[in-house]
Structure 1
Amino acid sequence: MAIAAPPIVHDPIPFGSWRIAETRAYAVRHYGLHRARLIAPKVIVEHMTENASFSETFNTFAPDVPDSELHELPGTCAHFVIDTNGTIHQLVSLKWICRHTVGLNWTAIGIEHVGFREAGVLGSIRMLRASLRLTRWLQAKYGITDNNVIGHAESLSSRYHRENVVRLKTQTHGDWPHRFMVTYRRDLAAE
């Protein structure tokens, strides 16, 4: 069954030929893949921005500079950002790999939620509704199952996780841990 896309505001970050080349080099190093394209994604990863606004998030992802944690290029990014008022912003085309989850970037769509706490998203009708609608649409578009909609903190348990860089094989973040994703996936199933 086809699901209509939710309203999406296109706010692309710079993703020119240099960033595409860096993404391809990243995919070779980390996954042994000679491509920058996101082909038939299998996972959707939910994230928290750890800041208070869409503009802060945009300004974090737009510059193509080494990230502060892993010090690599291309710069980190996500495909979508959900603002506190429920506006869905698309930063990167779904045809490109984004650096948002170590071990899964090769097959994952990244969705950031503006804020600091998952409970803030789950308690906001606008944010939660936008997030669920976007996630459901992406699932329908790519045939992604509910169990492959994960929180960043669940990345290591994904059957699609793979990482060639030894020091990063167990690297993850704490946002959207299992206890919050149980609620999120329950709400997603009811959507």
Structure 2
Amino acid sequence: MWKKISLIIFICIPTILLAQSFEIVQKPIIWNEDRERLSLEYLRDRHGMIQDRATIVPAMVVVHWTANNSVEKTFDLFNPVELPGRPELTKASKLNVSSQYVIDRDGTIYQFLADTTFARHTIGLNYCAIGIENIGSERNPLTKEQLIANEKLIRSLVKKYPIKYMLGHVEYYQLRETSVWKEADPNYITFKIDPGHVFMYKLRKRLKDLKLQEKLF
């Protein structure tokens, strides 16, 4: 049975203290010795970081969409340790893609990995980024419920970690010429459009008070 965690965060607007509670459904994907080993190899070979454990210090949040319409499909995609197919990614590593969070279309938040556990979701930035996947696609734009859930989740993460940056997967290229980008192969890049510029505009508007940056230059 999935476990649920209830969180309460407080937001000051402007002098009124409001309480927002929400639940996080725990739905962990496989984490075993093989996934740990492949993650450590990825950190070393792709990011140039030698570590004893496959952990991150979160400094940013990257928002995605899944390009499918089901949490279960996303779980089945992320759960295997090794990446099935996708030669454009397996050339860099056999480690499967994943993310720390997945948000369903009704706004339900699922946690697949711990916040500080390494996940492969954004080239060049995995070592410091928490990934939030949203069930949806270009044909099935993200919902208002997902917008609200992203806001609540990101507010709670900013309270726990030194997160200064938030960007959509579609925007990650802009960090290639900055010191935060860590990717051994300058030609290793994939084109992304998720989660859409409109969604990111709306999300930034809701999180304006946090002053999260989208660019490092």
> Where do 4+ consecutive residues of structure 1 move more than 4 Å?
none
Q: Determine if contact 1:118/1:180 at 8 Å carries over to the other structure.
A: no
Structure with higher Rg: it is: 2
Task: Give the Cα separation in 2 of the matches to 1:172 and 1:149.
Answer: 19
Q: Percent identity?
A: 31
Structure 1 unaligned blocks of 5 or more = none
Give how far 1:95 is off.
Answer: 2.6
Q: Deviations over 1:107-134 (max 9, x none)?
A: 000000001139832xx33221111101
Task: Give the Cα separation in 1 of the matches to 2:96 and 2:103.
Answer: 20
SS of 2:167's equivalent? strand
SS of 2:89's equivalent? coil
Asked whether 1:3 is paired with 2:9, we answer: yes
Structure 2 unaligned blocks of 5 or more = 1-7, 11-20, 211-217
Partner of 1:125: 144
Give how far 1:66 is off.
Answer: 2.3
Partner of 1:83: 104
> Which amino acid is the alignment partner of residue 30 of structure 1?
R
TM-score by length of 1: 0.87
Task: Give the Cα separation in 2 of the matches to 1:97 and 1:8.
Answer: 19
Partner of 2:156: 137
TM-score by length of 2: 0.77
Asked whether 1:162 is paired with 2:182, we answer: yes
Give how far 1:181 is off.
Answer: 1.8
- Quick check: which one's helix share is greater? 1
Give how far 1:64 is off.
Answer: 1.5
Partner of 2:33: 17
Give the total of aligned pairs: 185
- Quick check: which one's strand share is greater? 2
Q: Deviations over 1:20-74 (max 9, x none)?
A: 1100001101111112433321110000000011001001100122251311221
Partner of 2:17: none
Q: Determine if contact 1:27/1:34 at 8 Å carries over to the other structure.
A: yes
Q: Determine if contact 2:57/2:127 at 8 Å carries over to the other structure.
A: no
Q: Determine if contact 1:85/1:127 at 8 Å carries over to the other structure.
A: yes
> Which amino acid is the alignment partner of residue 37 of structure 1?
A
Structure of greater relative contact order (alpha carbons < 8 Å, 6+ residues apart): 1
Partner of 1:150: 167
